[in-house]
Structure 1
Amino acid sequence: MIAGVKVKRITKYCDDRGFFAELVRDDEQLLERFGQASMSMSYPGVVKAFHYHEKQDDLWFFPSGNAQVVLYDLREGSETKGKTDVYYMGDENQVLLLIPKGVAHGYRVLGEKPCTIVYFTTESYNAADPDEKRIDWNDPEIGFNWDTKNR
């Protein structure tokens, strides 16, 4: 696992009306501080990759659909620099994923239905000075193959 990345299992409390689940609490210390909460929806097969941040950490959750999430450690001095991790998140694996600053990240929507991501950041978005550095989805340094192989 890439250093500094954290995974939290989501606990659902079910009754005859549905369920309730806490995603993140301030007493869990998943985020150094809270900046912004956002959500996005993507259609099947869409790849949104890669980008990274210099100032903020991200906390990702996929409440619907399924996604293949890819991380690549760009941090100088990190014991996991140059390492790639893959996580499968969404309907089939309800987890939170903490992505530290300096770790490139992206995802691909899996399956036949759209995917929704809800994410929390330690900084609010600043349009005048965005903390979002882009890397091509097919960057040769990362070298990730987004194709699904039939086995």
Structure 2
Amino acid sequence: MEIKETHLKGCFTMRPWVFKDDRGYFFESYNQKAFTELTGYSAEFVQDNQSLSTYGTVRGIHFQSGAHAQAKLVRVIEGSVYDVAVDLRRDSSTYGKWFGVELSGENNLQLFIPRGFAHGFSVLSETALFSYKCDNFYHKASEGGIRYDDPTLGIDWQIPKDKMILSEKDLLLPFFNDLSKG
């Protein structure tokens, strides 16, 4: 597995070694020992989630806070998304910065997002089957988020604004500067 740290400390892209032959392919999508050796993080994933979304869907930007914060390992099984991580760690040199990368069923790229980050994605293909592991259980009272169109962050979701599909809940999220006052 090839693992590279992004410009956000603790946030890594991961590309598994894919073995192909005339029957198809095989790859190990996660190996805890290799992950810990290559990143220095020891994540114990306790929950797997999966979503199916259509083109233009923007999900996020979400996070869990406090004792219920979650690290995530995200990937796309089918289709393509533009995946975004935002550093919310106030003591970090990259606080308020974001990283985006295309994840697809073709490139098999994954993104590890540590605790203290917000996460979102937009669907670039007709549909996308998105899968992620979490190292902490979901806790409704600890959920939070940032608006997808936050001007301070200035994220380019790679989707024309008139084609974006957003939930009512995500449209009501606060802007980054309002969040940081709390």
TM-score band, normalised by shorter chain: 0.7 to 0.9
Q: 1:139 is matched with which residue?
A: 150
Q: 2:128 is matched with which residue?
A: 115
Tell me the C-alpha RMSD between the 2 structures: 1.9
SS of the residue aligned with 1:4?
coil
Unmatched 5+ residue regions in structure 1? none
Is 1:93 aligned with 2:138? no
Q: Following TM superposition, by how much is the alpha carbon of 1:139 offset from its aligned partner in structure 2, in angstroms?
A: 2.3
Which of 13, 28, 32 is 1:7 aligned to? 13
Contact 2:82 2:158 in 1 (8 A): no
Which of 46, 49, 54 is 2:60 aligned to? 49
Residue deviations 1:1-43, cap 9 Å, x none? 1111011112221222211111111212265212111111110
Query: Taking structure 1 as reference, are residues 130 and 63 closer, same or farther at Cα in structure 2, changes over 3 Å only?
Result: farther
Contact 2:79 2:127 in 1 (8 A): yes
Q: 1:84 is matched with which residue?
A: 98
Using CA pairs under 8 Å that are at least 6 residues apart, name the structure with larger relative contact order, 1 or 2: 1
Q: Following TM superposition, by how much is the alpha carbon of 1:93 offset from its aligned partner in structure 2, in angstroms?
A: 2.5
Contact 1:57 1:99 in 2 (8 A): yes
Tell me which protein shows more helix as a share of its residues.
2
Give the whole-Å Cα distance in 2 for the aligned partners of 1:42 and 1:10. Answer: 24
Identity of aligned residues (%): 31
Give the whole-Å Cα distance in 2 for the aligned partners of 1:130 and 1:96. Answer: 28
Unmatched 5+ residue regions in structure 2? 1-6, 161-182
